[in-house]
Chain A
Amino acid sequence: EIVLTQSPATLSLSPGERATLFCRVSQNIGGALSWYQQRPGQAPRLVIYDSVNRASGTPARFRGSGSGTDFTLTISSLQPEDFAVYYCYQRHAWPLTFGQGTRLEIK
């Protein structure tokens, strides 16, 4: 099973600051990684797919990067609505797996 390890577990920042979230994968998955945002009480929502592509409706301040085993989600200038939990997910191999999440909270 491919294991996804997200860091940090919690990130405390202020609106307007830059957020950098990491997802390390236990084996090479090429670019087959996506990022999801989950707000309290809601279903996850696709933010980035195939490592670098913004989903429809994702603001330009979100940027995905990486390939192979190391991936990054960067939010350039945090807005109040960005504070949520973010998950990475790999579709390279069965079983499909998720990271444990990074909680982005307001400082």
Chain B
Amino acid sequence: EVQLLQSGGGLAQPGGSLRLSCAASGFTFANFAMIWVRQTPEKGLEWVSAITGGGDRTYYADSVEGHFTISRDNSRNTVFLQMNSLRAEDAAVYYCAKRSSVASGWIDYWGQGTLVTVSS
């Protein structure tokens, strides 16, 4: 059974940092791309970042380019999202998700989500 267990998140001050983690199980982690998606009532679902199975290519939405970093540790079956210089508009529920192939594909499984709040 595929499972994506998220951790991290919580409250950060504007300009602060948070690191989200997503531990995967139930599949051969290195064979699949992973992504982060966030959700707010105002904007709905918004893709944030993606990384290929080998970690050799990363992609970012314009809104987070330069202040978020996606990475993965295939030895620990975990994907990360380092969020720096947080802004009020980064507040959202963040989901990690698995794609259906090593480089792309549809999203086939989602983590449980983690709330990020940005406030002083």
A interface list, Cβ under 8 A from B = 32, 34, 36, 43-46, 49-50, 55, 87, 89, 91, 94-101
Total interface residues on B, CB under 8 Å, equals 23
The CA of A95 and the CA of B95, in the complex, are separated in Å by 17
The CA of A93 and the CA of B8, in the complex, are separated in Å by 30
Interchain CB contact under 8 A, B59 and A55 = no
Contact partners of B107 in chain A: CB under 8 A = 34, 36, 44, 46, 89, 91
**Mask for B72-114, Cβ within 8 A of A = 1, else 0?**
0000000000000000000000010001100011111111110
Interchain CB contact under 8 A, B46 and A98 = yes
Chain A interface, DSSP helix/strand/loop, else mixed: loop
| A-B CB contacts (within 8 Å), total count | 51
The 8 closest A-B pairs by CB, nearest first: A43-B110, A98-B45, A96-B47, A49-B106, A34-B106, A100-B44, A46-B108, A95-B61
Interchain CB contact under 8 A, B47 and A98 = yes
Contact partners of A46 in chain B: CB under 8 A = 106-109
Interchain CB contact under 8 A, B59 and A94 = yes
Contact partners of B35 in chain A: CB under 8 A = 96
Contact partners of B104 in chain A: CB under 8 A = 91
Known A-B contacts A43-B95, A43-B111, A94-B59; the reply to A50 vs B47 at CB < 8 A is no
Candidates B44, B45, B106, B113; contact of A50 at CB < 8 Å: B106
Kindly provide the distance from the CB of A66 to the nearest chain B CB, expressed in whole angstroms: 15
Contact partners of A94 in chain B: CB under 8 A = 59
